[in-house]
Amino acid sequence: MKKIPRDAHAVSRKDISPNALKVLYRLKDAGYEAYLVGGCIRDLLLGLKPKDFDVVTNAHPEQIRQVFKNCRLIGRRFRLAHVVFGREIIEVATFRGHHSGDESNPKSSQSDAGMILRDNVYGSIEEDAERRDFSINALYYSVNDFCIYDFANGIEAIAERKIELIGDPETRYREDPVRMLRAVRFATKLNMQIAPATLEPIQELAVLLKNIPAARMFEEALKLFLAGKGFDNFMLLNELGIIKHILPVVAKNLKQDSEGKMLQLITSAMQDTDERVAIDKPVTPAFTFAALLWYPVEVRAQTLLIESGLNELDAFNIAMMEVLDDVQRSIAIPKRFTLTIRDIWSLQSRLGKRAGRRAFKLLEQAKFRGAYDFLCLRAKAEGGDLQELTLWWQRFQQEDEAGREQLVQQLGKEGIERRPKRRRSYNKTRRPRSDQGGS
């Protein structure tokens, strides 16, 4: 362990959340050890503004709750305390200890593959540091002496800009396969390289991500794709062979994407989302997943058309359902988002049918804007008629009522929905007509 004195590091109390400092001092006054830990220290050392401030202590969760009235305990796998200050939450964790290997211990358990299922085992600060995932996160700041305590050469790793696991990489990935996703996120967020020993086992062990609960994988997907580095994360996940384990239908269709349309659509959607995050505009996972899964749905719909003889609408609806159901096995996308995804997809065909009052009715649809933005991305990926359609809708939105009427009139027969001819069905046994002597 290295102790970095106050005059040798750049972390200052003026850059720390006042609420985090309150938690540290109140735990200290109650007789407990307390430190700021992990990402907030790392970010301050890199000159970045931390998203949140986490505290670690030797007080147990119930003891933390006794110190803070504004505290709630959460979690089963890891028992944590959330100290609430209005809209800010300071997360407080107890020092984690090592697992004893005693399967009868109700506070800890591991799967046969080595994945930690329950982890309420408490220990010392030294043990807690060893349990941290990456060296850049095993940094502790104390308000007792304002020193930083570096247990895994984290300061050196920051200087060398490398993401390096603490301990044996294979063991650490087996304990929690999500660490592979965290390695990717930290590498892109901090503009660092994944250390060779940390990188080497990923392709072989990425299959373990299939064991992660789908609900947790959705939360990880939000961090990967909607936190400002979605494009970089997607490309690195694909390069490392991770996508095929978390979104197999996407990986399969990317492999068959000879024209590059699918990758272009995903690239445009991810970059658009990253730009919105950068200027603090709202983003939604519905739009991202709609882009990721659009071509898999199209391909499946075409297969159904050929194999089953369904009409286009039925084939497309079944394809939407099948692809979304397939993804839910690995990433549990909440219903409020899948409904929006389906709306965006369904409106794509309707945007081409503009005659009469159709265009006016479409403009009133709640999901029109999302569907139009998605059409723009498709036009960028495919060009051709879609670009013309996008320009028409752009003009239609900008015009007044009279101008819109004129645009629709100029369409002529263009944009009219072509309904498939209905076949007449005949019974094998026809009733005789009365004038033919029927009874």
Q: How far apart are CA 381 and CA 259, in angstroms?
A: 10
**Residue 119 annotated among the catalytic residues of the structure:** no
Cβ proximity of 302 and 311 under 8 Å: no
Longest dimension (CA), the chain: 112
Kindly report the number of other CB atoms within 10 A of residue 188's CB atom: 20
* Host H or E run for residue 323: helix 312-328
Q: Name the active-site residue from 43, 133, 232, 272.
A: 133
Cβ proximity of 182 and 154 under 8 Å: no
**Residue 54 annotated among the catalytic residues of the structure:** yes
Q: Which residues, in sequence order, are bridge partners of residue 134?
A: 165
Q: What are the strands, taking DSSP E only, across 210-255?
A: none
Long-range contacts (CB closer than 8 Å, 24 or more residues apart) made by 181-186: 181/209, 181/220, 181/223, 181/224, 181/237, 181/242, 182/133, 182/134, 183/134, 184/224, 184/233, 184/236, 184/237, 184/240, 184/242, 185/223, 185/224, 185/227, 185/229, 185/233, 186/134, 186/136
- Identity of the residue numbered 372: Y
Torsion, Cα 313 315 320 325, to 10 degrees, reads 150
In the structure encoding, which two tokens stand for residue 234, read together?
């997607």
Cβ proximity of 209 and 180 under 8 Å: yes
Cβ proximity of 38 and 132 under 8 Å: yes
**Residue 112 annotated among the catalytic residues of the structure:** no
Q: Name the active-site residue from 43, 54, 232, 272.
A: 54
Please provide the DSSP assignment of 63-81 as one string: HHHHH-TTEEEE-SSS-EE
Mind telling me the catalytic residues? 52, 54, 133
